[in-house]
Structure 1
Amino acid sequence: MSRRVSSIRYMILAAMFAALTAVAGQIAIPLPPVPVTLQTLMVMLAGSVLGARWGAASMGLFILLAAFGVPVLSGGTGGLAVLVGPTAGYIWSWPLAAFFIGWWTEKMAPRLHFWKMVLVHFVWGVPLVYLFGVSWLVLAAGLEWNVALATGMLPFIPGDLVKVLIASSVAVSLNRAYPIIQPRT
């Protein structure tokens, strides 16, 4: 496949993951201060299916759409106000989380195994999102650390563990059936 065709293919896949992330945001359970959505599942899948560069690009595109007011965020919201609001830290972490998940996935390709993917998602996906999200809650919302951890992280851990297992299973299956990631040398 020519380099140009390959680039177009990756652009389409990155746009598709941005769209899937938008759809995943519409399935939300309101839980203050951060709603429960499937968007972090899409972040993990973007990195582990598209790789570092294109996974991060897909999340960057998603944020760009949100910045222009496209209602891609939880509950059909968008705009700059959300991207600087109390939950912004979680959103801004997504390109970085997708990048690191993708980088490690590329290093392991083509020998991807379920438990290795669980480890990658659990080490690079979930903690980065929590680190940025909870830190931003402290800075932007003025919450104390213990309150930010209790409201912005602890209630979400069980759901995120389920998302890690789902993302790992789907990523391994997709990479076996339709390998997109090229091994990193």
Structure 2
Amino acid sequence: MHVKDMTFISLSTAIIAVLGFFPPIVLPFTPVPITLQTLGVMLAGGINKPKNAGLSLIVFLLLVASGMPLLSGGRGGIGVFTSPSAGYLLAYPAAAFCIALAVGRLSILRFRNIFFIHLLFGILFIYAVGIPVQAFLMQIDFIKALRYSLVFVPGDLLKSAAAAYLVLKLRKALQIRDAGN
């Protein structure tokens, strides 16, 4: 592994950790808070090679599991992986990997293409893993958990747009041409 790869992995992990310092928005009807950390997942996928994007999120989750309070609201420790947020968190590495893979295959980087990739993998994929786990752990039916999750959609659309914009700017500033670079 090259120094540049390790730097990007560390940078991505740090960005996601810093986004955890923003307080969560806790809603009375769901134990899953609204956070900015999915923005970090999308950024990690947008600026890294696929393997490095996934690795940055694995490192982040290992730090959280070790007890570091890096999740929004100062949460950390192995217990978060038995909470209703567990599925969402566990989807992060695969989501970042898929985002990086898809962005790297784009022949032309455009806002709408990156935004669509973020919608597909940064939102829908994370929901597809997180909602069933939330339903199981809360012992509620899937449709009820799905309804609880609809409140996240407007904010996630904004985060997807912000991440697409930032990815375009960062890739240009850091001279990242494709996933192989």
- TM-score of the superposition, structure 1-length normalised? 0.90
Provide the residue aligned with 1:84 in structure 2. 82
- Identity among equivalent positions (%) equals 35
Which of the residues 116, 140, 145 maps onto 2:113? 116
Provide the residue aligned with 2:176 in structure 1. 180
Return closer, same or farther for 1:183/1:15 CA change in 2, 3 Å cut-off: closer
1:183 positional shift:
4.5
Point out where structure 2 has 5 or more consecutive residues left out of the alignment. none
- Supply the AA of the counterpart residue of 1:102: A
Distance in 1, Cα, partners of 2:177 & 2:3: 15
Distance in 2, Cα, partners of 1:129 & 1:180: 26
- How do 1:1-80 residues align onto structure 2 when only pairs under 5 Å count? 7-27=2-22, 28-31=24-27, 32-80=30-78
- Supply the AA of the counterpart residue of 2:147: A
- Supply the AA of the counterpart residue of 1:114: F
Distance in 2, Cα, partners of 1:149 & 1:91: 17
1:165 positional shift:
0.5
Judge which range, 13-22 or 43-52, deviates more.
13-22
- Supply the AA of the counterpart residue of 1:155: V
Question: What are the superposed Cα offsets for residues 5-30 of structure 1, whole Å, 9 maximum, x if unpaired?
Answer: xx112112211211211121221211
Partner secondary structure for residue 34 of structure 1: strand
Which of the residues 125, 129, 132 maps onto 1:128? 125
The Cα RMSD (Å) is 1.4
**Structure with the larger strand share:** 2
Question: What are the superposed Cα offsets for residues 126-173 of structure 1, whole Å, 9 maximum, x if unpaired?
Answer: 01110111010111221111210111x200000000001000011011
Point out where structure 1 has 5 or more consecutive residues left out of the alignment. none
**CA contact under 8 A between 1:51 and 1:101: conserved in structure 2?**
no
Which segments of structure 1 move beyond 4 Å, counting only runs of 4 or more?
none
